[in-house]
Chain A
């Protein structure tokens, strides 16, 4: 009997191993690899995904992961074509990253239609878990509501109760302006006006002059990446801050601060989900990442790609299968835990919940060297950092 039990157990374990080895997973990292977002989420996101696969020791656990990547050039049509091709002919199971909300909203739809999985780390629009929410999408790192809630509230609390927006003219800019306006007005502030600039832009002087002329106390930059860099640089040139107006860079990445230099960027308040210098685990990851990403520290988007791929692989391991519905259910059921974002959860609408942080850019004499840029102003707890489930208008939660 004992012998029989042993044979049964070993057969079962063999069968389990056999089934597990059948899991081949293909991850497509889709982002901007050459344009204005390539430094915050280009090759770095691919490296982050690879590191997640390595750190998870996927092969030892019977999951064969291959990673492909492509450049969507920040164009929804290009991104849609790649996503369709990946799903239809190249057997891609999951698309990760996808900065540029207009592209991400398109990929979100295609992923739902093809019943695959979308791990959105790059895009910002809060519509991804709002009216456009999908059972196949996890929105991992941040969104426009969280940015507005962090930076917007902080600026109003400092007395910045009248706003003028300089907004990138596409889905992301519109969402960020809308969500920040709501925060400003809810806190008793007033929005005096907004100007929409072509995306991507180079010269922001006209728009900044209009912002200056509005007399608003806060000039809100609802743009990102290269656009924010140029706008902040030119705002300093045109004496916006010297004239008493405060600048609110509503979405700012550490790479942007690096490009601007602390002389120009000092004092800016920003909301972020991640900073490399928060604890031993983030420092350890960031040092390894920096070595592989030509000396650049990870942005919060790249950190989000790492963490979301890690969580996905855990779910695949737990399910023992890569079926999209089962894996999505598992991802939402299991609490998340990773070295970069700590503990968290994924909500029914696809929103990943974790703490957000309000940082201030250090003065040049406070910084110990390159990449030592942020000081923590406040931690926004996970349950306060993101839009309440009921307010998003997501059809999945009705």
Chain B
């Protein structure tokens, strides 16, 4: 039996798999951010709060209406998306012609307000969300015990990431979107409703955050601060992948999940900072990110 730096291979495989699972959350969240930044040029700091809204949405459906997890997976993301559309229509829209910083400040402020509101009503300890029967239990893979809930996270997020990538890069709608970011005036001249396209894109990006939130509900405590803890890491992922790059954010999301997982084995104390160390290194070598186009 070989050992790598004193770590038996079973442990290593287990940690790699866990890294992939965490990477799934990074990927879905950074994908939403990348879509929004790529098409709207808005740095959406509300993303963490919208992820939290997804988890709370699932919790509210279950506790107030008795609607279970599997319905929530389909119902909650569109609802969270609609709240995003309202924000975009009422507030964010007014900042498109201004510097990035204004959008950043607005969305950051909104995030603080939303999180503060939930903290006031629900406290910070979080709320229990029992996993549905299908997701309880798990399988012994030989090298580790894989809970069904985690396996589902990998599958669901891979499907969503690939579908998003496909829509944006390979379909006609995606072509409109990409064209609208390059030159909105020209695309508008062809009779395409660019403002509507932009609003829907923001709604979609936010719905992705809501989706990640629903995925997180049975695994992590449903808690107003859950997004704030994650969003900083996700921003680092987006920066490493290259702002606005769809494929870049998916690949870096999973990749950094793996690296973080390995750090947790070899030097657990450093696992909170490893992503930022990588971010600093990447910015030194490739300021536009690994997959970003330099402007």
Contacts and interface: CB of A to CB of B under 8 A. Distances in A.
Interface of A: 34-36, 38-40, 42, 169, 195-198, 200-203, 205-207, 209-210, 212-213, 225-226, 229-230, 233-234, 237-239, 243, 255-256, 258-261, 263-264, 294, 296
A38 B122 CA distance: 11
A369 B134 CA distance: 27
Interface stretch (B98-106, B242-250, B260-268): B260-268
18 contacts: A36-B225, A169-B268, A195-B268, A196-B268, A197-B271, A206-B18, A213-B8, A225-B125, A233-B219, A234-B219, A237-B150, A243-B145, A256-B125, A258-B125, A259-B125, A263-B128, A263-B130, A294-B123
A252 to B, nearest CB: 12
Nearest to B147: A237
B58 to A, nearest CB: 15
Contacts of B268: 169, 195-198, 206-207
Given A198-B269, A261-B130, A36 B124 contact: yes
Nearest to B126: A259
B221 A229 contact: yes
Contacts of B219: 233-234, 237
Contacts of B130: 261, 263
B264 A206 contact: yes
A259 to B, nearest CB: 4
B109 interface: no
Contacts of B223: 226, 259
A35 B225 contact: yes
Interface string B221-261: 10101100110000000000000000000000000000001
B264 A229 contact: no
A202 B124 contact: no
A238 B221 contact: no
B18 A209 contact: yes
B278 interface: no
B145 A212 contact: yes
Given A202-B230, A230-B220, A259-B126, 12 more contacts: A169-B268, A205-B18, A206-B265, A206-B271, A209-B18, A213-B8, A226-B124, A226-B125, A226-B126, A259-B128, A259-B221, A260-B128
B127 interface: yes
A-B pairs, top 7 by smallest CB distance, nearest first, are A198-B272, A261-B128, A259-B125, A206-B264, A39-B125, A38-B124, A39-B123
Contact of A206 (B119, B220, B261): B261
Interface stretch (B9-17, B71-79, B82-90, B166-174): B9-17
Contacts of A239: 138, 145, 147
A205 B14 CA distance: 10
A234 B123 CA distance: 21
A14 B217 CA distance: 65
A233 B264 contact: no
B220 A255 contact: no
B126 A229 contact: yes
Interface of B: 8, 10-11, 14-15, 18-19, 21-22, 119, 123-128, 130-131, 138, 144-145, 147, 149-150, 219-221, 223, 225-226, 229-230, 261, 264-265, 268-269, 271-273
B259 to A, nearest CB: 12
B30 to A, nearest CB: 16
A212 B15 CA distance: 12
Given A196-B268, A226-B221, A259-B126, A209 B144 contact: yes
Contacts of B264: 206-207
Among B144, B225, B268, the most chain A Cβ lie within 10 Å of the Cβ of B268
A38 B123 contact: yes
Contacts of A169: 268-269
Nearest to A198: B272
Interface centre among A35, A42, A209, A210 (most CB of B within 10 A): A209
Contacts of B271: 197-198, 206
A86 B37 CA distance: 43
A210 B125 contact: no
Nearest to B19: A206
A238 B147 contact: yes
A205 B220 contact: no
B123 A233 contact: no
A74 to B, nearest CB: 12
A98 to B, nearest CB: 17
Contact of B123 (A197, A205, A296): A296
Contact of B220 (A42, A198, A209, A233): A233
A230 B226 CA distance: 11
A202 B226 contact: yes
Given A202-B229, A213-B10, A238-B145, A229 B125 contact: yes
Nearest to B149: A237
Contacts of B19: 206
